[in-house]
């Protein structure tokens, strides 16, 4: 690779929400930052529910003002056990004001979020954008070099924010464990007759969760329908009117008549974890480091926590005159992010698998867990707070 490549403190590879968030967070602190990646937001009806800590982070980056008009608050979360189990608990209701928040978070189209972050990235001084894929990675004792389609970029730390199929992760030789589920998710946007009243509702079915999440305006919502892979393909092939009818049936007509009002997506359900989110001069954030099914709005919120935590780690190293890409400087980041990712992955995996089995003891445990959360106030509040933002080790821009 070219030895005369431009040099940065940090080069972030991947311009999805996690990579853009980190690049903005670093550049705003005056850290020489490169962002390598094409602007390629995918409009597939996918939205992200950004929980309170993520909204604070985007606010600190100056990006929230542009996103907020397109986001709807999630004031209440309802969970309905629709498995037909013998141990079916009554519907559970979680209210944000019970933990002192107006909303658990805000729901926005994923493509819109990436668009806003990219616009912000174009205007922040100290952030250099390379509209290219990264094709290679070389490292030595002092720096890492990323090969672009044309030329190279050097940095003391390379961040792989290049998604679940991360090339940076593979080139850094970081071991992964990946697995699949016999499910896929249909995503789309809906217009509906009755107002959602800022309530997100998750129906737990035997094939997976079916979730309706509010969008702005009161009569629009996004859908994430996780179901068997074959059934999902069949639903995806339906004309709009028939798909809307199927959705209305599954939603027990809760929102009245439904119309498809946006693009659609079909996402196979997979899981991925890494042995460690760091390697020599490399750190991984977002789906490059962890992936799991969309249950409880955890994926990108975890990815943004990675970004905010790595920003703290780089700042601390640079202000102490240490090398931000050294193993020593990255050790705290690795420890805290591994724990957070492991806890979320296990929780989502366990809940998802418990829906897929019809074993009575498993049904009983799931039913009792939900019942306990509904009836025991202190437990419910702990679960709500931890779901929004883990208390221990929250990154500084999320506090």
Ligand X SMILES: Cc1cc2nc3c(=O)[nH]c(=O)nc-3n(C[C@H](O)[C@H](O)[C@H](O)COP(=O)(O)OP(=O)(O)OC[C@H]3O[C@@H](n4cnc5c(N)ncnc54)[C@H](O)[C@@H]3O)c2cc1C
Q: Is 18 in the site for ligand X (CB under 6 A)?
A: yes
Q: Of the candidates 10, 11, 17, 174, which one interacts with ligand X according to CB under 6 A?
A: 17
What tokens appear for 131 in the block? 């509209």
List binders of ligand X among 49-68 (CB under 6 A). Answer: 49
CA distance 170 to 235: 35
Instruction: Find the helix packing angle between 299-319 and 17-27, rounded to 10°.
Output: 20
CA distance 331 to 74: 35
> What mask, x for binding ligand X by CB under 6 A, covers residues 306 to 345?
----------------------------------------
Instruction: Single out the segment in contact with ligand X by CB under 6 A; choices: 12-20, 238-246, 324-332, 354-362.
Output: 12-20
Instruction: Single out the segment in contact with ligand X by CB under 6 A; choices: 61-69, 96-104, 161-169, 193-201.
Output: 161-169
> Strands of 176-192's sheet, edge to edge?
92-95, 76-81, 199-205, 208-215, 220-228, 176-192, 258-274, 290-291
Give min distance, CB of 360 to ligand X, in A: 30
Instruction: Single out the segment in contact with ligand X by CB under 6 A; choices: 118-126, 170-178, 273-281, 290-298.
Output: 290-298
Q: Is 36 in the site for ligand X (CB under 6 A)?
A: yes
* CA separation, residue 136 to residues 102, 232, 329, 396 (Å): 46, 36, 24, 33
Q: Is 167 in the site for ligand X (CB under 6 A)?
A: yes
Residue placing its CB nearer to ligand X in the complex, 32 or 267: 267
Q: Is 349 in the site for ligand X (CB under 6 A)?
A: no
Q: Is 13 in the site for ligand X (CB under 6 A)?
A: yes
Residue placing its CB nearer to ligand X in the complex, 11 or 31: 11
Give min distance, CB of 126 to ligand X, in A: 20
Q: Is 133 in the site for ligand X (CB under 6 A)?
A: yes
Give min distance, CB of 257 to ligand X, in A: 24
Q: Of the candidates 185, 282, 314, 318, which one interacts with ligand X according to CB under 6 A?
A: 185
CA distance 213 to 181: 23
Q: Is 301 in the site for ligand X (CB under 6 A)?
A: yes
* CA separation, residue 173 to residues 139, 168, 176, 274 (Å): 12, 9, 9, 11
Q: Of the candidates 10, 11, 12, 15, which one interacts with ligand X according to CB under 6 A?
A: 15
Which conformational region is residue 26 in: left (phi greater than 0), alpha (psi within -120 to 50 degrees), or beta?
A: alpha
Q: Is 202 in the site for ligand X (CB under 6 A)?
A: no
Give min distance, CB of 272 to ligand X, in A: 11
> What mask, x for binding ligand X by CB under 6 A, covers residues 83 to 112?
---------------------------x--
Give min distance, CB of 143 to ligand X, in A: 19
List binders of ligand X among 358-397 (CB under 6 A). Answer: none
Site residues for ligand X per CB under 6 A: 13-19, 36-37, 40, 46, 48-49, 110, 133-134, 161-163, 167, 185, 187, 224, 267, 286-287, 294, 297-301, 303
């Amino acid at each position: 690779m070219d030895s005369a490549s431009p040099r940065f403190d940090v080069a972030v590879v991947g311009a999805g929400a996690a990579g853009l968030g980190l690049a903005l967070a670093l550049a705003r602190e005056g850290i020489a930052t490169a962002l390598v990646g094409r602007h390629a937001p995918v409009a597939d009806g996918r939205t992200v529910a950004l929980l309170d800590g993520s909204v604070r982070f985007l606010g600190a980056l100056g990006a929230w003002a542009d996103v907020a008009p397109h986001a709807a608050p999630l004031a209440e979360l309802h969970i309905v056990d629709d498995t037909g189990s013998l141990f079916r608990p009554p519907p559970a209701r979680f209210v944000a004001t019970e933990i002192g928040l107006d909303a658990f978070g805000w729901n926005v189209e994923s493509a819109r979020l990436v668009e806003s972050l990219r616009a912000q990235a174009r205007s922040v001084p100290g952030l250099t954008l390379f509209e290219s894929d990264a094709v290679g990675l070389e490292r030595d004792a002092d720096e890492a070099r990323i090969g672009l389609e044309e030329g190279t970029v050097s940095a003391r730390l390379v961040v792989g924010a290049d998604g679940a199929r991360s090339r940076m992760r593979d080139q850094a030789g970081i071991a992964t464990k990946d697995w699949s589920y016999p499910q896929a998710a249909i995503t789309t946007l809906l217009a509906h007759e009755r107002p959602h009243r800022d309530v997100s509702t998750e129906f737990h079915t035997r094939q997976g969760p079916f979730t309706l999440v509010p969008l702005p305006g009161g009569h629009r919502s996004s859908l994430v329908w996780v179901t068997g892979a074959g059934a999902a393909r069949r639903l995806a092939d339906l004309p709009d009117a028939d798909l809307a009818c199927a959705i209305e049936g599954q939603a027990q007509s809760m929102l009245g008549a439904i119309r498809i009002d946006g693009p659609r997506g079909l996402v196979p359900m997979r899981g991925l974890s890494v042995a460690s989110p760091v390697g020599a001069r490399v750190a991984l954030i977002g789906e490059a480091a962890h992936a799991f099914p969309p249950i409880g709005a955890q994926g990108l919120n975890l990815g943004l926590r990675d970004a905010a935590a790595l920003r703290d780690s780089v700042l601390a190293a640079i202000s102490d005159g240490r090398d931000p890409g050294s193993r020593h400087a990255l050790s705290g980041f690795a420890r805290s992010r591994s724990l957070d990712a492991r806890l979320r992955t296990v929780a989502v995996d366990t809940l998802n698998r418990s829906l897929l089995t019809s074993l009575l003891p498993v049904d009983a445990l799931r039913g009792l867990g939900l019942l306990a959360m509904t009836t025991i106030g202190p437990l419910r509040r702990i679960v709500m707070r931890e779901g929004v933002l883990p208390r221990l080790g929250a990154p500084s821009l999320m506090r």
